[in-house]
Structure 1
Amino acid sequence: MAGDLEGFNFEQRHGKDRVRVARVWRAADGRHFMVEWGVSISLFSDCVGAYTRDDNSGIVATDTMKNTVYAKAKECSEQLSVEQFAILLAKHFTSFYKEVTAAVVVIVEKPWERVYVDGQPHEHGFKLGSEKHTTEVTVKKSGALKLTSGIAGLSVLKTTMSGFEGFIRDEYTALPETRERMLATEVTATWRFPDISAVQLKMPNIHFLPVNIPTKDNPSMVKFNDDVYLPTDEPHGSIQASLSRFWSRM
């Protein structure tokens, strides 16, 4: 919300973060389906009075937002995606409350995966996987919608055939060039709809440093031979890239 406040441009939002909800759907054949979501809600509304006149008549209580998450999850009798649930919530807040001019809903889905027993999918057994599914939706009063989805926490690694050489060297450069090293990263990726209009990647280094431990009596107690590493991610390099169509803005 933006408005006039004694000659200033004023913008505010308020909301509820880290609302945790799990939903289970039971199919007629006995199989269960479940999701666990961490929901954050931000509402823009015309409520300058709350800051200037102690007037909260334009405020949706954050506890109400929390309860709405559970109520809407209950109403979803059919299984739906995290994107569909985020859109459902955002549209509710912008249509149900005349004071709300826009809603932003961010959801992180925990990676629960079905367990397989003797090669067969278990009807109601699940285990926690690796990368999380993320989504962010913005819905305005006009109905305009912006949707971005992604993944976070996807750790990948290869133990050979990676190098780093030919980079800029100056008086502050101490890093030696190498044609052989371990490569590891944790991928955070987002993509924006409609279709795929933009993709963004963030891939910080997870370093695996060679271990060499010489002693006076044993100069080769631990002599590195592409085999023993010290895993560390502090400090780490950060790599980011984005690709978007000419008609899209990141």
Structure 2
Amino acid sequence: MKYSGLNLEQRHGKARVRVARVWRSKQGHHSMVEWNVSISLLSDCINGYFHDDNSDIVATDTMKNTVYVKAKECSDQVSVEDFAIQLAKHFVSYYRQVTSAIVNIVEKPWERVHMDGQPHEHGFKLGSERHTTEVIVQKSGALQMTSGVEGLAVLKTTKSGFEGFIRDKYTVLPETRERILATEVTGSWRYSYESIFSLPQKPLYFNERYLDAKKVLMDTFFGCPKEGVYSPSVQSTLYHMAKAVLSRFHDVSSIKLKMPNIHFLPVNISTKDNIIVKFDDDVYLPTDEPHGSIEATLSRVGSKL
């Protein structure tokens, strides 16, 4: 928006709204989620900037309260993606000023406890990796949606190497075909649905997609249980993981992976006169600072990033 020779781009919202939702079946089986919600609205509220007139502004406290109300209205269990879509749809339909709503949610990994091989009816423990989503809904119903995972920590103690890289006067890293490969995967995949009217109607569809996508990523990283799969570099492994997701899920148009190379450095202890401890692929110094930073996006030809 231009005013007095200046150009204004603006949005406002509410960040880090934490909400937990419990669903109880008549049989006594409980399900629960904990979400950290951030909302950003693109709206026609320029009078609040230019003329000290707040009459077109949706208060951020109202956005916070809306999260709790909409969570209450979910009488049946929903995925984090479905909840984000419901929130975004509310803001663009309920307020004439709002043209687009952006909703980001991170789901805390509460997992059901199993005791003596049986799932506990109402017991949960905190896991590790987090389920994420970003939903952008416009007043027309146009949709952009990504899902993802954060903090997926994986490690294999063999079947990894790094050879043939550029060597110059600053290079001291030895080449190897035997090392630990460890990383903490941050991934996000974009769905090809372009409208809220084209979404699958199957309950908890995106929960199932998330679990399946995470399994594909891990299966590709590790390989089969006995032989595994050799990794010539983090770059190569990242590519094969991303490609596997695109090959498996036809409603995913692109995927971005960040995979820092978390180092386990071989330990050799020696004095000037003799070696006290000689490394033999068995003792390492774990360190995550500094670490290698590798990321890439893989998309289908012609898809919108």
Return the TM-score normalized by structure 1. 0.95
Distance in 2 (alpha carbons) for counterparts of 1:169 and 1:81? 49
Describe how 1:7-18 pairs up with structure 2 within 5 A. 7-18=5-16
Displacement after TM superposition at 1:135 (Å): 0.3
Match of 2:270 in 1: 214
Q: State the shift of 1:104 in Å.
A: 0.2
Offset from partner CA, 1:22-45 (integer Å, 9 cap, x none): 000001211100000000000111
* Structure number with higher helix proportion: 2
Aligned residue in 1 for 2:278: 223
Matched residue, 1:51: 49
Q: What is the Cα deviation at residue 8 of structure 1?
A: 3.4
What's the CA shift for 1:56?
A: 1.2
Partner of 1:245: 300
- Partner AA of 1:197 in structure 2: S
The residue identity in structure 2 corresponding to 1:211 is V
What SS does the corresponding residue of 2:153 show, helix, strand or coil? strand
Structure 2: stretches of 5+ with no match in the other structure: 193-250
In structure 2, the residue matched to 1:89 is 87
Q: Distance in 2 between matches of 1:170 and 1:50?
A: 58
Compare the two structures and name the one with the higher strand fraction.
1
In structure 1, distance between residues paired with 2:291 and 2:304: 29
Overall identity of the aligned pairs, in %: 74
Deviation at 1:216, TM superposition (A): 5.8
Q: How far did 1:13 drift?
A: 0.8
Aligned AA (1:186): E
CA offsets, 1:82-101, max 9 Å, x none? Answer: 00000000000111111111
Separation (CA, whole Å) in 1 of partners of 2:57 and 2:105: 22
Alignment of 1:102-181 (within 5 A): 102-181=100-179
The Cα shift of 1:224 comes to: 1.5
TM-score (norm 2): 0.78
Q: Write the letter of the residue equivalent to 1:18.
A: R
RMSD: 1.3
Q: Could you tell which deviates more after superposition, 108-117 or 167-176?
A: 167-176
Structure 1: where are the runs of 5+ without partners?
none
